[in-house]
């Protein structure tokens, strides 16, 4: 395999990129000036080196310092009695842009596949349990804000069962789900500000 083929092979490993597109990317790189390619190579490395996950919420953050917490988890201005469980970083960013919520988050990292019940895959269930256990006295409410897709709903009911131990006992943490407004089958990431605000205001207790 020559260098061109090796490069195309690397691009082919990208999500959604086929062989022909990978070769077009490789051709594009070859046509660039050497210093542009050098800048791209060092940017790739810098991005990789500065990327890490917030130790509290699991959100992807970019920082060249050894900072472990993201700006939201570290902020004294957030309502630390609320924990919203969302599926992915894009949902978090979307809710932040809408400005309708001022609590903390937990990024689940995905939803559970419906076909293999019990398989927790790379969804951060045990990390979530640990987060709640570590801060039982701090949270007054946990808000499940997963998408209203079949997998999202499946994951929500799985979490309700799973977290029942944690909220039972002395410190009961009420778990709520987003209320009316969100359309069935839609992903949270694509709902508008008013819909989000309405869904948040009309959230309901599950117990």
The token duo for 164 is 């029942």
Cβ-based nearer residue to Zn ion, 102 or 207: 102
Cβ-based nearer residue to Zn ion, 22 or 145: 145
Quote the least distance from Cβ 7 to Zn ion, whole Å.
36
Q: At what angle do helices 89-98 and 193-201 cross, to 10 degrees?
A: 90
Footprint of Zn ion (CB under 5 A)? 54, 56-57, 59, 70, 73
Quote the least distance from Cβ 52 to Zn ion, whole Å.
11
Cβ-based nearer residue to Zn ion, 12 or 78: 78
Quote the least distance from Cβ 153 to Zn ion, whole Å.
26
Cβ-based nearer residue to Zn ion, 59 or 203: 59
Quote the least distance from Cβ 68 to Zn ion, whole Å.
9
Show Cβ contacts of residue 98 under 8 Å, excluding neighbours closer than 6 positions: 192, 193, 196, 197
Task: State the distance between the two ends of the chain, measured CA to CA, in whole angstroms.
Answer: 61
Quote the least distance from Cβ 62 to Zn ion, whole Å.
13
Cβ-based nearer residue to Zn ion, 60 or 114: 60
Of 149, 163, 162, the closest CA to residue 117 belongs to: 162
Quote the least distance from Cβ 60 to Zn ion, whole Å.
10
Cβ-based nearer residue to Zn ion, 89 or 188: 89
């Amino acid at each position: 395999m020559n260098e061109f083929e090796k490069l195309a092979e690397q691009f082919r490993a990208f999500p959604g990129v086929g062989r022909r597109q990978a070769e077009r990317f490789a051709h594009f790189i070859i046509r660039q000036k050497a210093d542009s390619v050098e800048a791209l190579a060092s940017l790739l490395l810098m991005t990789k080196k500065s990327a890490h996950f917030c130790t509290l919420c699991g959100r992807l953050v970019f920082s060249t310092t050894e900072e472990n917490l993201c700006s939201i988890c570290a902020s004294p201005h957030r309502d630390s009695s609320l924990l919203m469980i969302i599926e992915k970083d894009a949902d978090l960013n979307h809710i932040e842009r809408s400005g309708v919520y001022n609590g903390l988050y937990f990024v689940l990292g995905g939803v559970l596949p419906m076909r293999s019940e019990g398989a927790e895959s790379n969804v951060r269930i045990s990390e979530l349990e640990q987060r709640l256990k570590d801060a039982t006295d701090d949270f007054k409410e946990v808000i499940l804000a997963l998408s209203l897709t079949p997998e999202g709903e499946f994951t929500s009911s799985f979490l309700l069962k799973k977290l029942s131990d944690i909220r039972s006992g002395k410190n009961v943490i009420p778990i709520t789900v987003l209320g009316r407004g969100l359309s069935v089958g839609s992903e949270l990431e694509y709902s508008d500000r008013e819909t989000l605000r309405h869904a948040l205001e009309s959230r309901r207790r599950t117990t």
